[in-house]
A and B are shown apart, each in its own frame.
Chain A
Amino acid sequence: KAGVTQTPRYLIKTRGQQVTLSCSPISGHRSVSWYQQTPGQGLQFLFEYFSETQRNKGNFPGRFSGRQFSNSRSEMNVSTLELGDSALYLCASSLASKGAGLSTDTQYFGPGTRLTVL
């Protein structure tokens, strides 16, 4: 089974621009979560999507948004980029379960997209 894939792997943007990152989960996985990883802040949860609905959201400004498509593929968008948005953006998929949203399923991470904002 193919793992989680993310595109692009590297991206350089300038302040004020916007960016869209893509994530394809493992086949059969319905939950996709996004994380931002920086040396100072570690891994921070951005949001989780399940069946095209945002199920959870972290403490990030509205410039960060995402969506999930019917095939479970997900995109995240960051508008009006700031220097502090430079980070590794990781996507993770899991089988998850619907209903109460409780999930102890393992998170399978993609290789990440390294975003540099100049």
Chain B
Amino acid sequence: GQSLEQPSEVTAVEGAIVQINCTYQTSGFYGLSWYQQHDGGAPTFLSYNGLDGLEETGRFSSFLSRSDSYGYLLLQELQMKDSASYFCAVRAITGGGNKLTFGTGTQLKVEL
């Protein structure tokens, strides 16, 4: 099966940089995605890494090291609106095709 680990909670101040780590164990690994979910809202896609390295999208960047089974999401110039839960998700090839397995989420609190 698949398992993912990420911190349950992270607190940072407005304007700072925060890194949310994700380690995974899976066979048939295909890629790592990140999703954001505000309280009461639906998850929304942030970033995807299929290859090792850094992907940058505005204030958000995501990194993947396949050899270390590790990735992270980097949020820069934090804003209050970034307070939300962040999920890493592994896409893996299974016997029946492929499926997306989510971590339990990291709640980010941005403070003044």
Asked if A and B bind, the verdict is yes
Q: CB within 8 Å of B: which residues of A?
A: 4, 33, 35, 41-45, 48, 55-58, 90, 92, 100-104, 106-112
Provided the pairs A43-B43, A106-B48 are in contact, do residues A101 and B101 lie with their beta carbons within 8 angstroms?
Answer: no
Distance, CA A56 to CA B48, complexed state (A): 21
B92 to chain A, nearest CB (A): 10
Q: List 8 A-B contacts (CB under 8 A).
A: A41-B104, A42-B103, A90-B42, A100-B97, A102-B98, A104-B50, A107-B33, A107-B100
Residues of the B chain whose Cβ atoms lie less than 8 Å from the Cβ of A33? 100
Smallest CB-CB separation from A35: which chain B residue?
Answer: B102
Distance, CA A56 to CA B93, complexed state (A): 10
Residues of the B chain whose Cβ atoms lie less than 8 Å from the Cβ of A104? 30-31, 48, 50, 91
Distance, CA A48 to CA B103, complexed state (A): 18
Distance, CA A45 to CA B97, complexed state (A): 14
Q: How many residue pairs, one in A and one in B, have C-beta atoms under 8 Å apart?
A: 62
Q: Is B96 an interface residue (CB 8 A)?
A: yes
Q: CB within 8 Å of A: which residues of B?
A: 30-31, 33, 35, 41-45, 48, 50, 87, 89, 91, 93-94, 96-105
Distance, CA A55 to CA B100, complexed state (A): 12
Residue pair A90, B43 in contact (C-beta under 8 Å) = yes
Residues of the A chain whose Cβ atoms lie less than 8 Å from the Cβ of B35? 107
Distance, CA A100 to CA B94, complexed state (A): 11
Distance, CA A100 to CA B98, complexed state (A): 9
Smallest CB-CB separation from B50: which chain A residue?
Answer: A104
Distance, CA A43 to CA B101, complexed state (A): 8
Residue pair A56, B99 in contact (C-beta under 8 Å) = yes
